[in-house]
Amino acid sequence: MTNQEINCAEACVNGCILGEACPHREYVAAALKFVAEHDLDELVAVAQNSAPQRLLRQLEKGNLPGYPQS
């Protein structure tokens, strides 16, 4: 299985299965750095602030789980 054939969202649920060969290592490093530099309250605030934006994007796409698509 090559890197292009792996769906990280499914295959790497319990951790990256590619290790050093992962094409997304730069993103992992950036995310770990961000989490290390911010306390939990800041992370919660970021998540709360982005929730309405994510919901609006899903509404625009007509892609809300549990609701029929128009």
Does 11 reside within a domain? yes
pLDDT band at 33 (very low <50, low <70, confident <90, very high): very high
- One-character DSSP codes across 10-61: HHTTTS-SSGGG-TTHHHHHHHHHHHHHS-HHHHHHHHHHHHHHHHHHHHHH
Domain containing 54 equals: 3-61
50 occurs within a structural domain: yes
Whose CA is closest to 43, among 53, 31, 55?
31
Q: Is the pTM of this model over 0.75?
A: no
Q: What length is written for the chain?
A: 70
**Residue 3 region by backbone torsions, left for phi larger than 0, else alpha for psi between -120 and 50, else beta:** alpha
Q: Does residue 40 form part of some domain?
A: yes
pLDDT tens digits, one per residue of 8-19: 888 988 888 988
In total, how many domains does the chain have? 1
| Look-up of token digits 């995310």 | 31
